[in-house]
Chains A and B, each alone.
Chain A
Amino acid sequence: MLLQVLISGIIVGSIYALVALGFILIYKGTNIMNFAQGEMVMISAYFGLMYHIYYKMPYLAAFILTILTAGLCGILIERIVCRPLLKSPVMSVIIATIAVSIIIKNIARLVWGSIYYPFPSPFSLTPYHLGPIMITPKDVGTIVITLILLGLLYYLLQFTKIGAAMLATASNQKAASIVGISVKRVFSLTWAISFGLASAAGFLLAPQVSITPEMGDIVIVVFTAAVLGGLESLPGAVVGGVLLGIVGNLAGFYISTAFKDVVSFLILITILMFRPSGLFSAGAMRKA
């Protein structure tokens, strides 16, 4: 049974990891902590619902179209909300992205109401039995899609010019613009990619839970995952996400589901208090 809980923890955790990656991309790349990341996951699930169920598009087409729509939202939010606030204090940016998250959540509430929408998975639900554990093709599909996306992101950042420009901007904006990188365009791109990741996560999460406007509450888990990984490290986010998926599932299974959230909040506070630079860094340091 323990093994089963671990496996399903890893599956949920891989979805967390996708969202956390997007969150860190924005934080590292543009110095903005985006409190609306969770709402993007939620609204993307609705986009997926719209394309896949209402317009009856095939799964893959709906998936790609959702990612593109979310990317466009990312560019819009960067352009309208974040660019005017580039030189504002941290406080204003925090409040602005919180405002964005409230707006997205309420749009979802007004358009789709508070009804639970089920979302079908293209993969079958009949489980394989591998010794003591059960695993469904749906779970395998989730993991595989996550791995493909991670691979794509890795390729983009390591082997393309765009990725090099993004990494350069993240490490030093001024120097990047001196060597001819358009920092503004990189910012837009960063937001687009980050929201694309969030929307993929929303698409994968939707069959696991039903779609509601409250789906965005996973943002807390994502914060915790990102903080666990040190907030600056992309591999750290993946490890943090998976770790948190496992811990959350263990807490839900052995203590109670109500306790699941408390655990991630407690981890968040504890890490920020004692190791603000994350689990995997060399030493604790102050963070501003």
Chain B
Amino acid sequence: MKKHFQKILLLFAFIFFLVAPQVLDNYFIYLLNLFFIAFIVSIGLNILTGFAGQVSLGQAAFFGIGSYTSSLCMIKLAIPFWLSLPLGGVMGALISLLIGLPALKVSGYYLALVTLAFNEIVNLIMMHWKKMTNGTDGLNIPPPKLGEFVLSTDGSKYYIIFLLTFFLFMASRNILRSKTGRAFISLKDSEVASQCIGVNLPKYKIIAFMISAFYASLAGGLHGIALSYIHPQDFNLFRSIIFLMMIVIGGLGTMGGPFIGAALFTLLPEALGKFQEYQELIYALILLGSIIFLPSGLIKLPGRIRALATRAAHKPPASIPAA
């Protein structure tokens, strides 16, 4: 029953997003593009953090690596778009080995520190390697071409981004249902126990890091396309924290959590409007509130409400009537 429900929901979502750009105006299509990009990153991060239990404060670094790699491949080496995008992803996955290897030795707080330092180093390189990245002036990205077709409007970029997102989402579902996915989950529950039942710990940790970095880097490439401009500030530590916020507030280790989180954090800046100044403060307050009061995420909110309601309904009467 639940399986069928999920499939129907997925089908409806697919059709909805397929039709959406025909009725929405340009601005909403642009927002949807941003949403899908955030969604891809959070799917990847959710595999690493939510399922395999490894904290990462460096996801924006991979996002940036993918973005710069694919953009520079297009601009400097004239590699076509369809090739440079996956090249960015592969680059990110390879560099993630650098950070995955220390993760074999450390976890928890220590891993958070390693990934944080990694993010800052990558960010500093982006700012100071002016010849390559154009430093803090940012990098303008020409509209990509698919054969003869130039993707210059938000609508034309939309289908590429949407179809890729859908593909990556389905791929992550399949990964998580495979032997690899079960290994991730066992690793989160107990590293010792999973080693005892023969899970190759180093191998699966590295795989989790590579998958999440690949997702983030691909999304980074799309980010460059969608905005036509990238800047080192798009990839700073705060961005990494936002990615982490998405999956934590959405619901760690669930399929729907990243979707809710990515949607929330794409819409929030728009909803804040003239309160832009308070954006970081509001984000942080939401994050703190949800960690303390709703640790399992927004996706579990209906369940919590139901639980509270049933508890209230079955509450024994306050005073026992005298016999």
Q: Is the CB–CB distance between A286 and B291 below 8 Å?
A: no
Q: Is the CB–CB distance between B120 and A276 below 8 Å?
A: no
Mask of A248-288 contacts with B, CB within 8 angstroms, 1/0: 00000000001001100110110011001000000000111
Contacts of A262 in B (CB 8 A): 121, 124
Cα distance A261–B106 in the bound complex, in angstroms: 23
Q: Is the CB–CB distance between B102 and A102 below 8 Å?
A: no
Cα distance A92–B50 in the bound complex, in angstroms: 12
Closest to B252 in A: A91
Contacts of B248 in A (CB 8 A): 91-92, 95
Q: Distance in Å from the Cβ of B164 to the closest Cβ of chain A? A: 29
Mask of B130-160 contacts with A, CB within 8 angstroms, 1/0: 0000000000000000000000000000000
Closest to B121 in A: A265
Chain B interface: which of A82-90, A121-129, A151-159?
Answer: A82-90
Does A223 interact with chain B (Cβ within 8 Å)?
Answer: yes
Closest to B54 in A: A91
Q: Is the CB–CB distance between A268 and B277 below 8 Å?
A: no
Choose among B49, B120, B280, B295 the residue that contacts A102 (Cβ–Cβ < 8 A): B280
Chain B interface: which of A53-61, A66-74, A103-111, A196-204?
Answer: A103-111
Chain A interface: which of B70-78, B110-118, B303-311?
Answer: B110-118
Contacts of B121 in A (CB 8 A): 262, 265-266, 269
Q: Is the CB–CB distance between B102 and A272 below 8 Å?
A: yes
Mask of A19-43 contacts with B, CB within 8 angstroms, 1/0: 0000000000000010000000000
Asked if A88 meets B107 with Cβ closer than 8 Å, knowing A103-B281, A110-B281, A268-B117, the reply is no
Does A176 interact with chain B (Cβ within 8 Å)?
Answer: no
Interface size counted on chain B using CB atoms at 8 A: 40
Interface size counted on chain A using CB atoms at 8 A: 36
The CB with the most chain A CB atoms within 10 A, among B120, B285, B287, B291, is that of: B291
Does B244 interact with chain A (Cβ within 8 Å)?
Answer: yes
Does B241 interact with chain A (Cβ within 8 Å)?
Answer: yes
Contacts of B107 in A (CB 8 A): 287-288
Asked if A81 meets B292 with Cβ closer than 8 Å, knowing A99-B284, A106-B280, the reply is yes
A99-B288, A273-B114 given; 4 more Cβ-contact pairs under 8 Å: A84-B292, A110-B278, A269-B121, A286-B105
Choose among A90, A96, A272 the residue that contacts B291 (Cβ–Cβ < 8 A): A96
Does B109 interact with chain A (Cβ within 8 Å)?
Answer: yes
Asked if A99 meets B124 with Cβ closer than 8 Å, knowing A265-B117, A287-B110, the reply is no
Cα distance A258–B127 in the bound complex, in angstroms: 10
Does B203 interact with chain A (Cβ within 8 Å)?
Answer: no
Does A150 interact with chain B (Cβ within 8 Å)?
Answer: no
Contacts of B278 in A (CB 8 A): 106, 110
Asked if A103 meets B285 with Cβ closer than 8 Å, knowing A95-B291, A268-B113, A272-B113, the reply is yes
Does B216 interact with chain A (Cβ within 8 Å)?
Answer: no
Q: Is the CB–CB distance between B295 and A99 below 8 Å?
A: no
Closest to B244 in A: A95
Contacts of B113 in A (CB 8 A): 33, 223, 227, 268, 272
Closest to B293 in A: A84
Q: Distance in Å from the Cβ of A76 to the closest Cβ of chain B? A: 13
Does B173 interact with chain A (Cβ within 8 Å)?
Answer: no
Closest to A31 in B: B109
Does A98 interact with chain B (Cβ within 8 Å)?
Answer: yes
Q: Is the CB–CB distance between A90 and B106 below 8 Å?
A: no
Contacts of A96 in B (CB 8 A): 287-288, 291-292
The CB with the most chain A CB atoms within 10 A, among B110, B120, B287, B295, is that of: B110
Mask of B232-275 contacts with A, CB within 8 angstroms, 1/0: 00000010010011001000100000000000000000000000
Does B108 interact with chain A (Cβ within 8 Å)?
Answer: yes
Cα distance A92–B127 in the bound complex, in angstroms: 31
Contacts of B102 in A (CB 8 A): 269, 272-273
Q: Is the CB–CB distance between A261 and B124 below 8 Å?
A: yes
Choose among A91, A100, A220 the residue that contacts B49 (Cβ–Cβ < 8 A): A91
Cα distance A196–B280 in the bound complex, in angstroms: 26
Does A94 interact with chain B (Cβ within 8 Å)?
Answer: yes
Q: Is the CB–CB distance between B288 and A100 below 8 Å?
A: yes
Does B169 interact with chain A (Cβ within 8 Å)?
Answer: no
Cα distance A262–B119 in the bound complex, in angstroms: 11
Q: Distance in Å from the Cβ of B271 to the closest Cβ of chain A? A: 18
Contacts of B245 in A (CB 8 A): 95
Q: Distance in Å from the Cβ of A189 to the closest Cβ of chain B? A: 22
**For window 278-300 of chain B, which residues contact chain A by CB distance below 8 Å?**
278, 280-281, 283-285, 287-288, 291-292, 295
Asked if A94 meets B120 with Cβ closer than 8 Å, knowing A99-B287, A258-B128, A272-B102, the reply is no
